């Protein structure tokens, strides 16, 4: 009987092993990369390549997204799409945060030193976008003019090449294409170099602008970027070639580039009044902008709470009798107060995976950075509050035999916090407004949501004003709550 049970067990074990081997061999690429989900990073402010569907699902859609979904399906992977500023795409790839980049990106010699590229899947032309009537038809006519380009883009590289031959061109680098359009409309630049499919959308919804194609530079086509020696390059190339051969790429190009999806969302009245302040143009996008409020509040509350705890610890170290701890806390404060917050944020987000192997999320990186930074500022405020408490209180506590830690917790700190409440409220307000910085690493908070809407609708003024109104309401609400709390604390004295 025991032998029979043992044989049945062995059969089941062998069957399980066989099934697992068959399943692993059914997708050898999945087994090679060690996961069933691929993460793609993009900069979704470049319609119709990639942009947020602010009036519908709220997801990132576009030409590149459709291609990525097709490839993932062919290779039997799930697809996860995340976002960042364009100049943060290659660093995210280099630190193994993502598997590939799709953002209308072109292979250049500089990029090829750090990443690998697929075959070209789409080729477009560069255009000169300028105020109507400028008649800038050739690169030579840019002499003596201020020209805007997106930082890190192929257009920036091409313009630098043009500037070697045409003297007097002043280059202005901007983080996003919509910013270049806004600079044009504000007359801070004379022209912008933008890809034709994107430029046509902006010119179509801004009748005061015109665009004219210029000869494409070498390697101006779009390709997919991968980490060096990625096993995904060859499989992706096979699928891309298949899409070229069976006409899928052509169909997707027709879908996204001929319909001018974003222009279709604008009525003729909206286009005619494009220069006027008209909030009706973003009325259907307001829910998308409002989606950033919970994330902004969550980020601020967590950062303030943790920053207060960390700042209290640092302040206690500064007033301790142990000299090494004093020096350590003072040095820490000096470093975090003496370097830009944006630099600290970038270091935490990009360096953490490289140094520790942990793939920290954008929200986690933001909370950690703001906690470390606000703790440095709060420590000075809390230290001042502690030292402002009457020394008689501590002397009386010591004479009564109260332990120092208990005295600090129950007597000194409560009074100190009451005294520094206005300063803590100011720090919280600063954190709430500075939360906009996390948009640079892909967190879609209030400001980023407004910028996305602006990029989709080819307008900036209305969504940014609406975002400003939201921030103002939140700050006023916070200020009023702090005033009520302070008033109650005074009554309890």
Tokens of 94: 């280099």
Of residues 226 and 441, the one with the higher pLDDT is 226
Which range among 3-7, 37-41, 457-461 shows the weakest confidence by mean pLDDT? 3-7
Report d(CA 98, CA 116) in Å as an integer.
14
Q: What is the tens place of the pLDDT at every residue in 79-92?
A: 999 988 888 888 88
Short-list 414, 345, 465, 449, CA closest to 44 = 449
Confidence tier at 13 by pLDDT (50, 70, 90): low
Quick check: 273 pLDDT over 50?
Answer: no
Report d(CA 138, CA 23) in Å as an integer.
58
**At 375, which CATH number?**
1.10.3720.10
Q: What is the C-alpha radius of gyration for the chain, rounded to an integer number of angstroms?
A: 28
pLDDT > 90: what percent of the chain? Answer: 27
Report the mean per-residue pLDDT for the chain: 82
Residue 252 lies in a domain: yes
Quick check: 241 pLDDT over 90?
Answer: yes
Residue 159 lies in a domain: yes
Report d(CA 476, CA 1) in Å as an integer.
79
Task: List all residues 6 or more positions away from 321 whose beta carbon is below 8 Å from its beta carbon.
Answer: none
Of residues 72 and 316, the one with the higher pLDDT is 72
Whether residues 322 and 421 fall in one domain: yes
Residue 267 lies in a domain: no
Confidence tier at 405 by pLDDT (50, 70, 90): low
Residues in the chain: 493
Residue 233 lies in a domain: yes
Quick check: 6 pLDDT over 60?
Answer: no
Residue 357 lies in a domain: yes
Whether residues 238 and 99 fall in one domain: yes
Of residues 171 and 220, the one with the higher pLDDT is 171
Short-list 429, 430, 432, CA closest to 445 = 432
Tell me which of 219, 247, 272 is where a domain ends.
219
Whether residues 393 and 422 fall in one domain: yes
Quick check: 114 pLDDT over 50?
Answer: yes
Confidence tier at 426 by pLDDT (50, 70, 90): confident
Of residues 165 and 271, the one with the higher pLDDT is 165
Quick check: 3 pLDDT over 70?
Answer: no
Report d(CA 250, CA 242) in Å as an integer.
12
Quick check: 8 pLDDT over 80?
Answer: no
Report d(CA 102, CA 43) in Å as an integer.
8
Whether residues 436 and 404 fall in one domain: yes
| CB-facing half-sphere around the CA of 99: CA atoms within 13 A | 20
Tell me which of 406, 426, 443 is where a domain ends.
443
Report d(CA 372, CA 149) in Å as an integer.
35
Quick check: 492 pLDDT over 90?
Answer: no
Whether residues 48 and 195 fall in one domain: no
Confidence tier at 125 by pLDDT (50, 70, 90): confident
Report d(CA 438, CA 292) in Å as an integer.
12
Whether residues 351 and 307 fall in one domain: yes
pLDDT of residue 266: 39
Quick check: 275 pLDDT over 50?
Answer: no
Whether residues 424 and 314 fall in one domain: yes
pLDDT > 70: what percent of the chain? Answer: 84
Angle, nearest 10°, between helix axes 461-491 and 421-434? Answer: 160
**At 47, which CATH number?**
3.40.190.10
Residue 451 lies in a domain: no
pLDDT of residue 106: 84
Whether residues 140 and 245 fall in one domain: no
Task: List all residues 6 or more positions away from 472 whose beta carbon is below 8 Å from its beta carbon.
Answer: none
Residue 7 lies in a domain: no
Q: What is the tens place of the pLDDT at every residue in 204-228?
A: 777 888 888 886 555 468 899 999 9
CB–CB of 194/177 below 8 Å? yes
Q: Structural domain of residue 228, as residue ranges?
A: 35-122+223-262
- Count how many domains the chain has: 3
Whether residues 244 and 352 fall in one domain: no
pLDDT of residue 468: 92
Whether residues 117 and 244 fall in one domain: yes
pLDDT of residue 293: 92
pLDDT of residue 443: 83
CB–CB of 169/143 below 8 Å? yes
pLDDT of residue 30: 75
Whether residues 143 and 256 fall in one domain: no
pLDDT of residue 220: 65
Report d(CA 18, CA 160) in Å as an integer.
59
Whether residues 101 and 250 fall in one domain: yes
Q: What is the tens place of the pLDDT at every residue in 366-383?
A: 999 999 999 998 888 888
CB–CB of 422/414 below 8 Å? no
pLDDT of residue 182: 80
Residue 399 lies in a domain: yes
pTM of the model: 0.69
pLDDT of residue 479: 86
Q: What is the tens place of the pLDDT at every residue in 132-165?
A: 888 888 888 899 999 999 887 778 888 888 888 8
């Amino acid at each position: 009987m025991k032998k029979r049970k043992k044989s049945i067990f062995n059969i089941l074990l062998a069957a399980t092993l066989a099934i697992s081997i068959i399943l692993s061999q059914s997708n050898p690429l999945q087994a090679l990369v060690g996961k069933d989900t691929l993460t793609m990073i993009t900069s979704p402010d470049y319609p119709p390549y990639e942009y947020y569907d602010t009036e519908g699902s709220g997801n990132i859609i576009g030409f590149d997204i459709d291609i990525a979904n097709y490839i993932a399906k062919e290779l039997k992977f799930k697809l996860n799409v995340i976002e960042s500023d364009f100049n943060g795409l290659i660093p995210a790839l280099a630190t193994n945060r993502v598997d590939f980049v799709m953002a209308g990106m072109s292979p250049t010699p500089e990029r090829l030193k750090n990443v690998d590229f697929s075959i070209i899947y789409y080729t477009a032309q560069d255009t000169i976008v300028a105020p109507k009537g400028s008649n800038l038809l050739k690169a030579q006519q840019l002499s003596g003019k201020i020209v805007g380009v997106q930082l890190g883009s192929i257009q920036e590289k091409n313009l630098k090449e043009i500037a070697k031959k045409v003297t007097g061109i002043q280059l202005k680098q901007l983080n996003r294409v919509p910013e270049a359009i806004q600079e044009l409309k504000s007359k801070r630049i004379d022209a912008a170099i933008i890809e034709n499919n994107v430029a046509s959308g902006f010119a179509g919804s801004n009748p005061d602008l015109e665009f004219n194609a210029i000869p494409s530079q070498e390697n101006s086509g779009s390709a997919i970027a991968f980490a060096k020696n990625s096993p995904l390059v060859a499989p992706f190339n096979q699928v891309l070639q298949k899409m070229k051969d069976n006409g899928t790429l052509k169909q997707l190009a027709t879908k996204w580039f001929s319909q001018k999806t974003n222009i279709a969302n604008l009525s003729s009245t909206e286009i005619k009044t494009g220069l006027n302040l008209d909030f009706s143009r973003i009325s259907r996008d307001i829910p998308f902008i409002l989606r950033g409020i919970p994330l902004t509040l969550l980020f601020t509350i967590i950062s303030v709470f943790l920053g207060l705890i960390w700042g209290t610890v640092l302040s206690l170290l500064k007033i301790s009798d142990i000299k090494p701890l004093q020096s350590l806390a003072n040095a820490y404060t000096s470093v975090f107060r003496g370097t830009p917050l944006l630099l600290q944020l970038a270091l935490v987000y990009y360096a953490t995976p490289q140094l520790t192997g942990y793939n920290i999320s954008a929200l986690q990186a933001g909370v950690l950075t703001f906690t470390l930074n606000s703790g440095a500022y709060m420590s000075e405020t809390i230290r001042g509050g502690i030292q402002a408490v009457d020394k008689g209180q501590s002397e009386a506590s010591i004479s009564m035999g109260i332990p120092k830690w208990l005295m600090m917790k129950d007597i000194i700190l409560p009074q100190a916090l009451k005294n520094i409440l206005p300063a803590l409220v100011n720090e919280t307000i600063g954190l709430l407004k500075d939360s906009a910085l996390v948009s640079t690493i892909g967190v879609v908070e209030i400001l980023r949501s407004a910028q996305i809407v602006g990029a989709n609708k080819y307008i900036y003024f209305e969504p940014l004003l609406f975002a400003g109104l939201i921030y103002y309401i939140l700050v006023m609400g916070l200020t009023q709550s702090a005033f009520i709390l302070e008033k109650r604390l005074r009554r309890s004295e």
